[in-house]
Structure 1
Amino acid sequence: MSSNALELTHVSRDFNHGKFHAVNDLSFMIKPGEIFALVGVNGAGKTTTVKMCSTLLTPTSGSILVNGYDTVTSSQNARNAVGMVLGGDRGFYPKATVLSNMRFFASLAGVPYRQQSEQIDDLLDQVNLSEKRTACVNTLSRGQKQRLHIARALLGNPKLLLLDEPTVGLDPDIALQIRDVITMMANQGIGILLTSHSMPEVEELADTVAIINNGKMCVQGNLADIYQYAHVSKTSMFSLAPSEAVTPDDIKQWFSNNAIVLCRSVSAKWNFTILWNNASESPQQDIVHQFSVRELAVPPDIVTRPSTLEDAFLVIAQENRHDEII
């Protein structure tokens, strides 16, 4: 039996009688205690992948093992090893207390009655909700409900936790609390599959990052692997007032050999982001030079910094699109 919390081997999922390939030949594994982030644009196949891992969907081809159990041939055993956090206001009985909800879901998770009180108390303590055990769910804040979702998902001691946008819509301080809980769960040996549009969150939490597009794996590895794949090292930003002297297309042409240039209009200004590849040694000087040789005023607000995961993701997404971002 596999020792991995999750293992996907050449998994595909088709819809519309095979006309639409939502997931195409996807393979990856998650070890116990590993936080694995699945990243992609909307429609990339993340949600379909998560649903297959939770046994809500079956793959068209390939295999998925959760704690060594096949999600098709041993679906109940696989399901018992999975905790899933979708978040939001739904998923609980709002007029029932936190304790009543947890007892109900503990029974569904197969937790023996004599063990329920101890396990519920322990989980509520871990997510800092012990003082809310007698409160009705509809009186909880959004952050408290999200922590309750995590506690519910951990009933039955799952080996794999599926987290879909766990901090979306939360205030920054509450989001930090949720991230601390996620890290604590990983430290206890639970494998975690995380989907998130927050690249800083992924950078902070993930041991491994996988970027998918059109259902296919683009790259997976640590942050250094992602940066190397995207050929991005530094990022520059500056703004210009619209002018006949220079256009966004001109600036894209200036740096076309060693960077991807993104431009968007904000408050009557053009905001430029230049994503430099590894060949550029002096980005700041390159920008100054291109303006100076054309006798144009150099933007006074040029900032250059090390590239982030979000920058690398933008490069990969840009390369997988046929239309330009203006």
Structure 2
Amino acid sequence: MGTIGINFKNIQHQYRTKDVLRGVSFHADPSSITFLAGENGAGKTTLIKVALGLISPKAGNTLFDGLSVGKIREKIGCVFDEPPVYPHESGFDNLKFLSGIHSLDQKWSQEVCAMLNLDKGLLKHKAKALSLGQRHRLAVAAALLRKPKYLFLDEPSIGLDPPSWQLVQTALKQMADRGCAILITGQNYDAMENLADNIAILQNGKLIFSGSIVKLVQAFPVHVRIVTDDHREIAVQFPEAEHNSSGIYRIVCESSEEARAVIDQVRRSTLNFQELSIEKASMGKMMTDIYAGRFRPERRGLAYESVQN
């Protein structure tokens, strides 16, 4: 951990007098997808540009299996939120130009295009005739044609309808299975929860958490949701329950195990209820709470994982 894959080490950067990145250190492991999360302006795109050598940081560096970007550039694939296609060239020619490969591996090209549903008929069209979603899939395909060992995707879901985004997710999972270290940004948090293995959270240029998505999700409290009009009995049985005017009660639990114990307790009680279920916070709600300072990972026993400088 921390010596292979993509390693960000104490990255600092300024735009004029504003600190955009303030000592960011974490790693994106091979054979996994790391979600780089943060509100708009948190420094995500700047960090990717630093890693790619497009801008020079004030301090720190990014290493790829211990090597600088200049030594492994041909092993990197990258897709930004605005797919940089050549509008007057065909899809086929765009794949060649964007991938930077003069002689494409035909078998791998066919696999990639099949993954992303880019058929020959579509690729014959000039890029200007393609939709934003199709151009995005074209840019993703070009990045994958490089057979990258390290892959960066900045907001890749923009402009994609659900079926197209599902195709991209499947392709990314296959690349991770091939050993690729993938770093991805985006604002569709619930989709990222099902896609990524790990998460690094930026806020105001600082890294506030880096670790497993599963551990982060498990650390959030869950609720037992009870719908009942038996208000007197629930007040006696569960005085800690929060409620609203619609007769929906919620009992905050520290873990799924505690929630299941509450469910059993409700079923054994004399409380009359219409609905009984366990609710987990969505990834979007979790991130909102984190950004607002209503949740501190370290207070929930989460280890803070970072690259040692």
Matches of 1:161 and 1:91 in 2, distance apart?
A: 16
5 Å-filtered alignment, 1:156-171, equals 156-171=146-161
Q: Which runs of 5+ in 2 are unaligned?
A: 228-239, 263-273, 296-309
1:15 paired residue number: 15
Q: Which amino acid aligns with 1:278?
A: E
**Which of 80, 91, 96 is residue 98 of structure 1 equivalent to?**
91
2:53 paired residue number: 55
**Comparing 205-214 and 153-162, the one that deviates more:** 153-162
Matches of 1:44 and 1:22 in 2, distance apart?
A: 7
1:310 corresponds to 2:284: yes
Matches of 1:190 and 1:208 in 2, distance apart?
A: 14
Q: Is the 8 A contact 2:32 2:180 kept in 1?
A: yes
SS at match of 1:145: helix
1:86 paired residue number: 80
Q: Identify which of structures 1 and 2 has the higher relative contact order when contacts are C-alpha pairs closer than 8 Å and 6+ apart.
A: 2
Displacement after TM superposition at 1:22 (Å): 1.0
**Comparing 130-139 and 147-156, the one that deviates more:** 130-139
1:40 corresponds to 2:38: yes
Matches of 1:115 and 1:50 in 2, distance apart?
A: 27
Matches of 1:81 and 1:275 in 2, distance apart?
A: 50
Change (3 A) 1:11 1:183: same
Q: Deviations over 1:270-289 (max 9, x none)?
A: xx9x995729968xx9xxxx
Displacement after TM superposition at 1:162 (Å): 0.7
1:296 paired residue number: none
Q: Normalised by the size of structure 1, how large is the TM-score? A: 0.69
Identity %: 26
Q: Normalised by the size of structure 2, how large is the TM-score? A: 0.73
1:154 paired residue number: 144
Change (3 A) 1:165 1:114: closer
Q: Is the 8 A contact 1:99 1:133 kept in 2?
A: yes
Matches of 1:123 and 1:277 in 2, distance apart?
A: 45
SS at match of 2:292: helix
Q: Is the 8 A contact 2:150 2:182 kept in 1?
A: yes
Q: Which amino acid aligns with 2:58?
A: T
SS at match of 1:7: strand
Q: Which amino acid aligns with 1:136?
A: K
Q: Deviations over 1:185-226 (max 9, x none)?
A: 212221110111111111111110122211112112223432
Change (3 A) 1:50 1:69: same
SS at match of 1:65: strand
Matches of 1:67 and 1:130 in 2, distance apart?
A: 35
Matches of 2:112 and 2:48 in 1, distance apart?
A: 24
2:266 paired residue number: none
Q: Which amino acid aligns with 2:14?
A: D
1:205 corresponds to 2:195: yes
SS at match of 1:41: coil
Matches of 1:217 and 1:55 in 2, distance apart?
A: 20
